[in-house]
């Protein structure tokens, strides 16, 4: 069985938080490709190869690091959309937040 490297999709709107996450992943020895998007709509477009990502080749497997609070479409709505779709329901998603609540 041939394995494919996991692509990490980082959906984080705050530049400082995104840099911190990427830096710490690299320090931990994670060598996987990290693709960053800045909001929930871009995350969905990347996953479904739509919008500005319409020409990209679908990549699998995928791990998503998903901020809860983002512009346009929030992380909770992205999570609901992906888990409701049989094609993406099994994609692992780690929710991120910096909120005090």
**43, 66 in Cβ contact below 8 A?**
yes
In this predicted structure, what is the pLDDT of residue 99?
65
How does 21-42 read in b/e, with b if 16+ C-beta sit within 10 Å? bbeebeeeeeeeebbbbbbbbb
In this predicted structure, what is the pLDDT of residue 2?
62
Regions in the chain scoring below 70 on pLDDT:
1-3, 60, 99-101
Distance CA 24, CA 55 (A): 30
Q: What is the 3-state secondary structure (H, E, C) of 5-41?
A: CCEEEEECCCHHHHHHHHHHHHHCCCCCCEEEECCHH
Distance CA 5, CA 79 (A): 23
């Amino acid at each position: 069985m041939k394995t494919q490297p996991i692509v990490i999709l980082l959906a984080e709107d705050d530049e400082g938080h995104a840099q911190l996450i990427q830096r710490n992943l690299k320090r931990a020895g994670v060598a996987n490709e990290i693709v960053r998007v800045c909001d929930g709509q871009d995350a969905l477009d990347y996953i479904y190869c739509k919008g500005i990502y319409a020409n990209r080749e679908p990549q699998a497997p995928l791990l998503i690091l998903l901020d809860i609070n983002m512009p346009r479409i929030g992380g909770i709505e992205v999570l609901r959309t992906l888990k409701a779709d049989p094609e993406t329901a099994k994609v692992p998603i780690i929710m991120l937040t910096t909120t005090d609540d």
